[in-house]
Amino acid sequence: MSIFASRLNDLPNLAWRRFEQTGDMDDISEAIRYLQYAVLLTPEGHPELPARLNNLRLSFWRRFEHTEDMADITEAIRHQQHAIKLTPDGHADLPAFLNNLGLSFSSRFECTGDMDDISEAIQHQQKAVQSTPDGHAELPEQLDNLGISLLSRFEYTGNMDDIAKAIQYQQQAVRLTSDGHAGLPRRLSNLGNSFWSRFEHTGDMDDITGAIQLQQQAVQLTQDRHPELPCRLNNLGNSLSSRFERTGDMNDISEAIRHQKAAVRLTPHGHAELPSRLSNLGISFRIRFERTEDDGDISEGIRHQKEAV
C-alpha cells in the first residue's frame, strides 16, 4: 500500500504544472484528490507521511489563493499542523514546515483580519528562522516571509516595533541574496514596501527615498512579461506619488503616472488587482491636477476611477 501511496504522491506534479500554466481549477482539485488518497493510504509513523501532508497543504493553499474559499485554508492549516506534530525537533524539513504553516496563517489573516492568525504566522515563521542554520539556501526566503507578516500586523496595529523588525529581517534577506538570484527582485520590492509603509506613518523622507530606490531596482531586475512586474510597477508608482505629495517635484508625479499606466496596461482584464491599480492611477492624475489645474489630468483621473468602480 505504501508503494501505491508513493506513486499517488507523484501524480499531482502533472496536475500542478497544468494548473500553473492554465489556472484551470479542475487541475488543482485533481491534485488534491490524489494527495488526499496518498495520505489516507500512509499509516501513522511512516517516514513519508509529514512530506505528503505538506504537499496536500500546498495544494489546498494554492487553491485558496485563487478562490479564497475559507474551507481550503482551514484544511491547509490543519494538514500542516499535523505534519509539524509528526516531525521531530532538529529534522531537516521542520523549518520549511514551520514557514509554510506561517504562510497559511498569514493568508487567512489577509481575508479575516483575525489578529490571532497573524500572531500565529509570526510565531511559526520566527521558529522557522531560528531553526534554520546560517548559510542555508532557504534562510533569505524565510526572513522575507517573516518580514511580510510583521508588516501586515503593523498595518493593522501601527506598532512601530513591528515595522522596525520587518525592515531588519528583510534587509538581512536582501543582504543574504546573491546578485542574479531569481528571488532578489521580490525581496527588494518587499523591503521597499516596508519602507513606504513606515513613511506613511512617520513622514521620514529617508524612508520614502529608500523605498523608491529599492522598488526601482526591483523593476529593473524584473523581466518583461514576468507576472509580478505589474505589481512592482504599481508599488513604485505609489511611492513616487507619495513623495510628490511631500515635495511637489513634478518629475515624481509624472514618473508615478508613467509606471502606474504600465502596471494597468500589463494587468489582464478580470485580474483581482486591476481595480486597485486603476484607482491608484486615477488618484495620481487627480493629485497632479491639484498642482497644474490641467483639465486633461482631472478627466483622466475621473475616467480611471470610474473604470475601477
Q: Identify the weakest region by mean pLDDT among 22-26, 39-43, 185-189, 271-275.
A: 22-26
Contacts of 149 (CB under 8 A, 6+ apart): 102, 106, 118, 121, 122, 125
Give the span between the Cα atoms of 279 and 84, in whole angstroms.
Answer: 42
The mean per-residue pLDDT over the stretch 174-188 comes to 97
- The answer, yes or no, to whether residue 1 has pLDDT greater than 50, is no
Domains in the chain (CATH in brackets) are 179-309 (1.25.40.10)
Could you give the count of Cα atoms lying within 13 Å of 238 in the half-sphere of its Cβ? 24
Confidence at residue 308, expressed as pLDDT on a 0 to 100 scale: 92
Q: How does pLDDT run across 229-272, given as a tens digit for each residue?
A: 999 999 999 999 999 999 999 999 999 999 999 999 999 998 88
Confidence at residue 17, expressed as pLDDT on a 0 to 100 scale: 64
Confidence at residue 11, expressed as pLDDT on a 0 to 100 scale: 57
Confidence at residue 6, expressed as pLDDT on a 0 to 100 scale: 53
Give the span between the Cα atoms of 8 and 130, in whole angstroms.
Answer: 34
pTM of the full structure: 0.88
C-alpha cell read off for 116: 490571532
Confidence at residue 166, expressed as pLDDT on a 0 to 100 scale: 98
Amino acid, single-letter form, for residue 2: S
Confidence at residue 270, expressed as pLDDT on a 0 to 100 scale: 85
With both helix axes pointing from N to C terminus, report the angle between 2-10 and 12-22 in degrees, rounded to the nearest 10. 20
The mean per-residue pLDDT over the stretch 110-117 comes to 95
| Cβ atoms of 99 and 137 closer than 8 Å | no
Confidence at residue 38, expressed as pLDDT on a 0 to 100 scale: 87
